[in-house]
Structure 1
Amino acid sequence: MTSAAQADSPPNVVMLISDDQAYDDYSFMGHPNIETPRLDQLAKESLTFRRGYVPNSLCRPSLATIISGLYPHQHGIVGNDPPYAAGPDSPKNKFADPKYLPIRNAYLQHIDRMNTLPDRLAPLGYESLQTGKWWEGNFSRGGFTHGMTHGDRTKGGRHGDLGLDISRKGIDAIDTFLDEAVENKKPFFLWYAPFLPHTPHNPPARLLNKYKQKTDSVPLAKYWAMCEWFDESCGEVLDALSERHLDENTIVLYVTDNGWINQLDSSRYAPRSKRSPNERGVRTPIMIRWPGHVKPMMDDSSLASSIDLVPTVLNAVGLPAAPELSGIDLLDPKAVENRKTVYGDIFEHDIVDMTDPDPSLRYRWVIHNNWKLIDPAAQMNEKPQLYNLASDPNEDKDVSASHPEVMADLQKRLDAWWTPKGH
């Protein structure tokens, strides 16, 4: 890898973020029906970690980790919505309750205290554009200089508002931003988190008709079609870079916020996917493309995590490592080789406490080599589970009873990483 200091100008940074997609719902990950030609090509051009993970399988805390490099229990955004106490006269829709508005706004305290990737890049002259999913109020609260999300809770602001139009209604905002960056000769950071393949599953008819030929389940056909629509949308962004001759000096990173298993009878997620600590909740491919700097390679065994994305970018642009970030530089082969363990924590969708993550905790999980421990919080009333991912990648057989020594080792690692109060 060539350091940024050796380049004529700092590299641009683009994050492509899928929304609700299982780790193997791509052609290059082996799906027999879903076609993803643009992401297949990106994977060939990238250092691609097929064993990537996100610590949390819910969008808001996962996205906060991607933008900060911190675990949810560290950055404080552990669920999608803050606590709500309904009264006898409360509206059916809690978001229409004026008493809930100040609570929702108060929860933005966490992004205001966070040192985000746009914050860190700003001293180097970077301009940053937010598009797509964004929960944390106005884009500027995340350190972005440009953005689509107004974040006004009284005008429909919750998880992206106008930003959710990106790709579903074209990429004009990205085209305009890139043109200005080229004209002004400014390095840039682009946050591309389209509302795809997320529900509503309303793909173009041409794609839906294609996938209806592959399954008797219309909801499943819709989801598969959404995955290809998302693939096409990533292609639009990559083409926008190419058309402006920005490929060579742009780092493109890919990750998904959380997994998904589509039910056969409705456009909803099934158990053991979104919001779960299971593989189809937390696993994702992670890609890094930087022509001339990063050698393309398909890595089937190394463990990568979304907490690594910020440290990787910081090192690539020549910024010093931040001691509060525990992730590794994924472009450092030795660091990748030495990484044997990844961690995560799963919390309630609607949090219990505004500042203390512990009451909202559902699970902690750890993977060491090929062993995976899922440790439920006391409130879950469940037993810990142990899986050997090498022989049981779908987590069908809990082997905790037959491997007490592995259980003890993983529990010790998990507790050394983070032990909630009262655990």
Structure 2
Amino acid sequence: MKKYLLWCLGIGLLTLGCKDKGVSSKSNEAQTPNIVLFFVDDMGWQDTSVPFWSQRTAYNDLYQTPNMERLAKEGMKFTLAYATAVCSPTRVSLMTGMNAARHRVTNWTLHKDKLQPMETNHKTLQFPEWNVNGLSPVASTEKAVHATPLPQLLKDAGYYTIHSGKAHLGAIGTPGADPLKLGFDVNIAGHAAGAPGSYLGAENFGNGKQGKEVWAVPGLEKYHGKDIFLTEAITREAKLAMDSALEKNQPFFLYMAHYAVHTPIMADSRFVQKYYDKGLDSTEAKYASLVEGMDKSLGDIMDYLDEKNLSDNTIILFMSDNGGLSAVARGGEKHTHNKPLSSGKGSAHEGGIREPMLVKWPGKTAPNSITDQQVIIEDFYPSILEMAGVKNYTTVQPVDGISFVPVLSGSIAQGERPLFWHYPNEWGPSGPGIGASSSTRVGDWKFIYYYIDGRMELFNIKEDIGETKNLVNEQPVKTLELAKILSDYLRKVEAQIPSQKVTGDQVAYPDEVLNSRNM
């Protein structure tokens, strides 16, 4: 034990970030709950028949997600849940409890040691050498954030940990690309890439496509050549993995991370015809079928828990990794698929970061309850550990997230705190809120700073959910207040900032820009 504690202390001194809470242990106060984290890829706040606003919209009537409705009736709905604007930063925050500004995996990962082409080819900004290799459980991986992954702590506490679906946590050839090296006992179909080569078993889920090998979904060979959709295959394998946990008499943590509803937008033949019949264009009908297929998987998992008499002792969390795709690849007008929210995936506006979130904890959450408590993706890390009864755990990284467990009882509300987003990168497409930026939300107010030109936006989200009226000029005091909160945070966590290509100078912090204007 002494050797272990000395080792942890040494690691902490080396990394300057060891959050020492003692040795990992598990509370024995009650029966250990199973935990299912149902994590959807690119699902927008409006991609569901469950309204997460004060009123229903046309999108809530278009999409059919009866099992999300079922989960909402049995648990708590979060109307102000946030992730980041693109996938890898969110997933690394989930697995580490760190804000993206601190862990520096600020864009989507794939190829080892390489910035994205849209970053290296940018005309005016020089982007920082962010952690392109993603998350790593070992300190020696360069250009990666070294952290103690969430599943490792759960595994150490006696959980049977199951990864199913999309991983997208580390670049090809790095430890973080393999979920088995991050604390998962089982890996179903997870690897470095963030999208499937194909959703169709008849197309071997992309395996065998020349030049597209990087996107081929691994490990599902038993379904190759068969008429089965990827969402269904992953669900079946997840149920088998839960069977293994029961055979081992272990509580399980199921990370059900579907590739759906990410591109390529392909028809799930079980559901698509009804959307064609409604008159949707081909792309949007296929997209709706992806959504409904994802929802069927949720229902299958809930049915499994019922059949195995596990429902009363299983926590289910539902979340998406970023806002719904709208800038590219969709049918109809761009940047409108998440209305009333502005923009979509890749954007600092609400459409890019605001997510559908549900939590069911039998005996804790009141059925059909709603909270407007603001939460952000890094909060899942300490929350899930608290749900699991894991106490006195040690991490090599600082944990920024705050547990939302007290909120679930409905009797305790967290105080107001700033939320932060940091994207010193280039995504590619253009549109409202898209581009290198940093932002904060404090109460009802949201401030966004764009690195390319120093432009700023200030919105009152409660009064203007669509971010239609920029109040920077009308509210100079509030603008400066939030600019300073954001700037101080970026300095505190030593966030990476883009530089000007011509001069090589780092772009100024937002409070510096405002102070210079007022001189």
TM-score by length of 2: 0.68
- Please list the CA deviations of residues 76-123 of structure 1 after superposition, one character each: whole Å capped at 9, or x if unmatched: 32222352598xxxxxxxxxxxxxxxx987985366722111111122
Match for 1:283 among 332, 335, 354? 354
Question: What is aligned with 2:477?
Answer: 405
- Alpha-carbon distance in 1 for matches of 2:64, 2:102: 37
Q: What is the deviation of 1:16?
A: 0.4
% identity of equivalent residues: 23
Q: What is the deviation of 1:171?
A: 2.3
Q: What is the deviation of 1:347?
A: 4.1
Are 1:343 and 2:343 counterparts?
no
Gaps of at least 5 residues in structure 1 are 87-102, 352-360
**Residues 195-210 of structure 1 aligned to structure 2 (within 5 Å):** 195-210=259-274
Match for 2:161 among 111, 120, 128? 128
Question: What is aligned with 1:356?
Answer: none
- Alpha-carbon distance in 2 for matches of 1:411, 1:250: 42
- Please list the CA deviations of residues 353-388 of structure 1 after superposition, one character each: whole Å capped at 9, or x if unmatched: xxxxxxxx91111111111111112xx225111111
**Residues 138-287 of structure 1 aligned to structure 2 (within 5 Å):** 138-149=178-189, 151=191, 156-157=213-214, 161-162=218-219, 167-262=231-326, 266=330, 270-271=334-335, 272-287=343-358
Distance 1:175 1:238, change over 3 A: same
3-state SS, counterpart of residue 198 of structure 1: coil
**Residues 8-407 of structure 1 aligned to structure 2 (within 5 Å):** 8=31, 10-29=32-51, 30=56, 31-54=60-83, 56-81=84-109, 82-83=113-114, 109=141, 113-135=146-168, 136=170, 137-149=177-189, 151=191, 156-157=213-214, 161-162=218-219, 167-262=231-326, 266=330, 270-271=334-335, 272-320=343-391, 324-333=398-407, 336-348=413-425, 362-377=436-451, 380-407=452-479
Q: What is the deviation of 1:312?
A: 0.9
Q: What is the deviation of 1:193?
A: 0.8
Q: What is the aligned length?
A: 392
- Alpha-carbon distance in 2 for matches of 1:187, 1:415: 43
- Alpha-carbon distance in 1 for matches of 2:466, 2:406: 30
Q: What is the deviation of 1:14?
A: 1.0
Distance 1:268 1:238, change over 3 A: farther
- Alpha-carbon distance in 1 for matches of 2:135, 2:443: 36
Greater CA radius of gyration, 1 or 2? 2
- Please list the CA deviations of residues 301-324 of structure 1 after superposition, one character each: whole Å capped at 9, or x if unmatched: 221111111111111222237682
Conserved? CA contact 1:61–1:78, under 8 Å: yes
In angstroms, what is the RMSD of aligned CA positions? 3.2
Distance 1:80 1:275, change over 3 A: same
Amino acid at match of 1:139: P
Question: What is aligned with 2:490?
Answer: 418
- Alpha-carbon distance in 1 for matches of 2:349, 2:310: 38
Conserved? CA contact 1:314–1:321, under 8 Å: no
Gaps of at least 5 residues in structure 2 are 1-25, 118-130, 171-176, 194-210, 222-228, 336-342, 429-434, 498-505, 510-519
Q: What is the deviation of 1:391?
A: 1.8
State which drifts further: 340-349 or 190-199. Answer: 340-349
Q: What is the deviation of 1:268?
A: 9.8
TM-score by length of 1: 0.83
Distance 1:43 1:32, change over 3 A: same
- Please list the CA deviations of residues 221-266 of structure 1 after superposition, one character each: whole Å capped at 9, or x if unmatched: 2222221121112112222222222211111111100111446984
- Alpha-carbon distance in 2 for matches of 1:171, 1:265: 26
- Alpha-carbon distance in 1 for matches of 2:212, 2:263: 21
Q: What is the deviation of 1:141?
A: 2.3
3-state SS, counterpart of residue 409 of structure 1: helix
Conserved? CA contact 1:286–1:304, under 8 Å: no
Q: What is the deviation of 1:187?
A: 1.4
